[in-house]
Amino acid sequence: MSENSFGEDRMRREIAIVAGPKDWGDTRESWLARVPRKVKTVSFRTVKALWYGEITDPEHWAARDIRREAELIQARNEAAKLASQFHTIAGGMRASDQDFYSSEIDRLERIARLLGAVDRS
């Protein structure tokens, strides 16, 4: 795999993260058109140029902006998963012995709420 195709694959993965899952009624263009709605600094034409490899510079301003948004989306998703795990653990502790684990349950639920706030921002 050449260096250029590796960069294209990475850019395509980042664009796909920002665009989100492709619905059954989406064309590639309608799917790619979601990116400028989430990343206000890029145009549809720029996203298409990145997708089709017309812009290959990984440090292009649009590539950096899309990469930054993709990283934020991934971080929010990871925070949501972690918050869910904390809620599950706290629920198990509550079912096991709520009195004994009360401080740990409170701490886990507080952290889960904080992570949930990160998810919504």
What is the token pair recorded at 26?
């989406």
* Integer CA distances (angstroms), 87 to 35, 37, 73, 109, in order: 32, 32, 21, 6
- The C-alpha atoms of residue 5 and residue 72 are separated, in whole angstroms, by 24
Q: What are residue 115's phi and psi, to 5 degrees? A: -65, -35
pLDDT of res. 74? 95
* Integer CA distances (angstroms), 96 to 90, 92, 102, in order: 10, 6, 11
What is the token pair recorded at 103?
């401080």
Domain region containing 67:
3-120
Q: What are residue 109's phi and psi, to 5 degrees? A: -70, -35
Q: What DSSP state is assigned to residue 25?
A: T
pLDDT in tens, the chain (121 residues): 445 666 778 999 999 999 999 999 999 999 999 999 999 999 999 999 999 999 999 899 999 999 999 999 999 999 989 988 988 888 888 888 888 888 888 888 888 888 877 555 5
The total number of structural domains in the chain stands at 1
